[in-house]
Amino acid sequence: MLRIPYDELVRTLVLAHRNLGYAPARAQESATLFAETTRDGVYTHGIARFPRLAKLVGNGCVKPEASPTFVSGFGALERWDGNYGPGNLNAWHSMGRAIALAAQHGIGCVAVRHTNHWMRAGTYGLQAAESGMMGLCFTNTMPNMAPWGGKQPVLGNNPLVIAVPRTNGAHFLVDLAMSQFSYGALDGYAARGEQLPVPGGFDKEGNISSDPKAILEARHPMPIGYWKGSALSMMLDVVAATLSFGQATCQIDEDPLKEAGVSQVFVAINPSALGDVSRIGDQIIASLHTESGSKARYPGEKLPAIRGENMEKGVPVDENIWEETRKIAGLA
């Protein structure tokens, strides 16, 4: 693992985006989102995802020049079309629009169809929290998880994000897939030759397994909460496809290099519209630390420390990913 200075990481990613056909401003925005994700310690969904994005641009699934367009709206609810543009840029725009609606109405909801993988899901929850808003967003995916009691991957692992702002910037943040481990996490464990810390799926024989390679080969990750995660995955898909009038998981290509046209929902809520609620989160955290001991932490608590360390020491980047990215940037 290399340690790359943050500014160098951004510059390299900007060049790589430009070589993929991104306009200068869009290259800067996307490069920053990739770099910030890796800086914040979400190594599976930052620069590690960039080579796959390059392939999706190359085969036409992601259109670098495409921006979201307004379809319809009613009060605080809007529907947009992502036009198969870059998923992270579409998502950033959509949460931004939800925040603007929440500033006007107290709540805003934006549903987007025909978009693409948004990379780190938590980015858009933090986007809302940094604006003083609660953020909730979710996406469907290609079929990559079997329903509880089944063997064929007909559900998506449909990530869900919930963020709540704190005045000190150390926001609450939950970012989780509906599978016990995301495919990015499984890939990471497999690449390092490590077993999962808890069972994460099933092998081809249907046995519960902690072997990431066996789970990836079987394409059978375990839903969180068993049947509960399976049901929640389906409901997130139903809501996303219905609100956006877009594709459901069953209509999305199963090939990771052809996954395109997903449906997403972004919700922002303005808690201060009803009064000062800033101390509630602090009280909950104090209770957690007092009752559960020093090892307990709230969701998102580690983020500021990880971010600070990586800014000081350099952002950890896999050597092969870095070399591949530099080649796309024309630097190697």
Catalytically annotated residues:
45
257: tokens are: 């290099």
Determine the Cα–Cα distance for residues 278 and 166; give it in Å rounded to an integer: 7
Alpha-carbon Rg for the chain in angstroms: 20
Structure token pair of residue 300:
């998102």
Q: How far apart are CA 219 and CA 151, in angstroms?
A: 9
> Rounded to whole angstroms, how far apart are CA atoms 309 and 327?
27
Would you say the C-alpha torsion 17, 18, 22, 25 has a positive or negative sign? positive
Q: How many of the other CB atoms lie within 10 Å of CB of 70?
A: 11
8 Å CB contact between 287 and 298: no
CB of 222 within 8 A of CB of 208? Answer: yes
Backbone φ and ψ for 299, nearest 5 degrees, come out as -60, 120
Residues 6+ apart with CB under 8 A from 264: 90, 91, 94, 111, 112, 115, 118, 137, 138, 139, 140, 240, 244
Q: How far is CA 132 from CA 2, 77, 164, 273, 298, in A?
A: 35, 20, 8, 11, 19
Q: Which of 135, 110, 121 is nearest to 244 (CA)?
A: 110
